[in-house]
Structures are given as structure tokens and as C-alpha cells.
Amino acid sequence: MNAHRIRNGELPVLKSMDDSEGPSEFYFLEQGDPNKVVSAIVELCTEIIPEAFSFDPMRDVQVLTPMHKGLVGTTHLNQVLQNALNPNPVMVETTGTTFKLGDKVMHLKNNYQKDVFNGDIGTINAVDIKEQLFSVDYYGRTVNYDFTETDEVSLAYAISVHKSQGSEYPAVIVPIMVQHYVLLQRNLLYTAITRGKNLVIIIGTKKALTIALKNDMPKKRLSGLAYRLMQN
């Protein structure tokens, strides 16, 4: 219902998590402070969702955010969620990123030799410091990486909405903030919430939601296609 409302530019029906009417599959948490949004996302992943909905935070919950930069961007959220969800001390140190045994990771570009592709999400299931190798389990299939190939993967506790296209997850958490102004678009919001199969939680402000709903400009493409067809 809310997906259709968003597609039509209408504000979704917003239900808070402390609503006494019983469980729902779509919630909205009003919060305008980016630091508190980050804290709320951590609490949702580590406590609330596993306890209330019995979802595994590593396997079933996916955070989707419009941007990479900022407090509620993928880079910072991945660092925070890695610390909260994966205490494993075995790690691979690379430039700008630390990967740990047990981390949730995403492959970033098609690699036909390894038979793994852009957007595939897996779990680091082995690290060999001596041989400088680590392995990732993708849907039951293990792919090996040399430490020099860490640029082919990234942490995937939080990913961009763009990277989530074509995928589904049992539960999604979507921060929508005015700080995301450049990327607040109706089609992006629609894509984000339709990735959730059983549970969607939006956290942010109604102002940001309204901005996204009103911004339907990406739908209008000035390709000149009609003119070119008439020329032929």
C-alpha cells in the first residue's frame, strides 16, 4: 500500500514502533539529529529487530542509504555497524578499510574469472594472514581473494539504494534526512522501500520524505528520442 502511495507522490501511512495497535510491516521513526539516527540504526540492528521480529541482523537486515558520505552515509554506517555486530579480532588491514572475519561484504565489479558479480553480498568466512588470502561465502559458494584484491569488495552492513536495485531483503532500514537533499527523489525512495520483503523501517524526518515525494524530475528524460525517430 505504501509503495503505491509513494509511487503516486502521496505521503505513506506512517506508524511508530510504539504504536499499541499491534505489529506492522512498515514503520517510521521521526528523528532529525544525524547522530541519534546512527544510534537508532545500531539499536534496531542489534536489539529491537532481532528481539521483536526474530531476524538475524547479519543475514536478514539491510541498511539502505542514499549517500556514501556523511554520518548517515554508507562509509560511516559500515564502520559503526561493523563495530556493533562483529567483535571478531581477526582482520585484514587495507587502505581506508578494515575487514574482519565474519564481515558482511559486497563484491563491487564483475569478475568473470572468479564468477562473482557486481552487487553480490557474502560473508568473510576465512582469513589467512600468512598466505595473505581471505575467502568470502557467496550464497554457499566460496570465492578466494588475495589481500591486494580488497578493492573489489566493500563492507555491506549499509549499502547505497542504487546498489540494492534488483535485490530483496527480509528487513530494510532506510535513513531519509534533509542532508541527503541532492539524492532525495521519489524513484529512489520507492526503490528503497520495495527492497523489503517483510519489514521496512524509515528513520528521519517528514520534511525529507516530502522533499523526496515531490521530486519526480528523474522521470522526465530529455533524450530527443521522438525527434530522432521522426528523422528516420
Q: What angle do CA 68, 70, 73 make, to 5 degrees?
A: 40
Packing angle of the helix pair 186-193, 206-214 (nearest 10 deg): 120
Phi-psi region of 150 (alpha: psi -120 to 50; beta: other; left: phi over 0): alpha
pLDDT tens across 59-91, in order?
Answer: 999 999 988 999 999 999 999 999 999 999 888
Q: Measured between alpha carbons, how far is residue 46 from residues 50, 61, 100, 164 in Å?
A: 7, 10, 18, 22
Examine the pLDDT at 131 and tell me if it is beyond 70. yes
* pLDDT averaged over every residue in the chain: 91
The rounded Cα 98 to chain-centroid distance in angstroms is 19
pLDDT tens across 96-109, in order?
Answer: 789 999 999 999 99
Examine the pLDDT at 20 and tell me if it is beyond 60. no
pTM of the model: 0.89
What is the SS3 assignment for 171?
strand
Q: Where are the alpha helices (DSSP H) in 44-178?
A: 49-53, 74-85, 161-164
Q: How far apart are CA 159 and CA 15, in angstroms?
A: 25
pLDDT for residue 167: 92
Strands (E), 103-211: 104-107, 121-128, 133-138, 141-146, 153-155, 158-160, 169-176, 196-204
> How many C-beta atoms lie closer than 10 Å to residue 17's C-beta?
14
**pLDDT tier, 18 (very low <50, low <70, confident <90, very high otherwise):** confident
Is residue 92 within 8 Å of 98, Cβ to Cβ?
A: yes
Is residue 46 within 8 Å of 85, Cβ to Cβ?
A: yes
| Mean local confidence (pLDDT), 166-180 | 92
